[in-house]
Amino acid sequence: MASLKDSIASVLGIGKYAGDIDSAYYDGPNDEYVAIIAGKTHRIPASMIDRSYQPPPWANMALNNVTKSPSVLGQVLESENYRQRLLYMRLRIPEGSKHPYEYLSSHLSGDKVYVFVVQDGQAVTLEDAATMFPSDQLITQLRLLDK
């Protein structure tokens, strides 16, 4: 069975360079596949993709589609543990290690995620859009607090 990247590479005429595809996913609402190569987005109608590639049943849950659906996004982000793991990953804190803050917590409310941080006796609340959490801006703010 051909991989999605192999099928997309074949359609785009880049055959053996399938490894150059940064990411690829199925965009169900538009019935097309999206490939990102060197920062450029390529949209390919589903009918052009090799029929030997069958998307997994969860293909519609690709990250870009999750962010379009607030109800699904809320289900994903409602777990504090999950949000904490996302923060650790973006801050490059190894799993199981202690974070550098006196206190770090997050709360999802509607379309916002609030991050509560205590550092050097100072309490700070940071806000991030749920669809972008944890955004580059939030991570930068957290890193500045650690200085």
Instruction: Render pLDDT for 109-143 as a digit per residue (tens, 0 to 9).
Output: 888 999 999 988 999 999 998 888 899 999 999 99
Q: In the block, which residue shows the tokens 């596949």?
A: 33
Q: Packing angle between helix 136-146 and helix 80-91, nearest 10 degrees?
A: 70
* DSSP code for 56: -
Instruction: Render pLDDT for 49-59 as a digit per residue (tens, 0 to 9).
Output: 765 555 554 44
CB atoms within 10 A of CB 61: 15
pTM for the model stands at 0.50
Q: Which region, left, alpha or beta, applies to residue 89 given φ > 0 means left and ψ of -120 to 50 means alpha?
A: alpha
For the chain, give every domain's residue range: 4-66, 73-146
Instruction: Render pLDDT for 57-92 as a digit per residue (tens, 0 to 9).
Output: 444 444 444 444 444 455 556 777 788 888 888 888
Which of the given ranges, 43-47, 96-100, 103-107, has the highest pLDDT on average? 103-107
State the Cα angle at 129 between 138 and 41, rounded to 5°.
Answer: 90
Which of the given ranges, 14-18, 32-36, 71-75, 110-114, has the highest pLDDT on average? 110-114
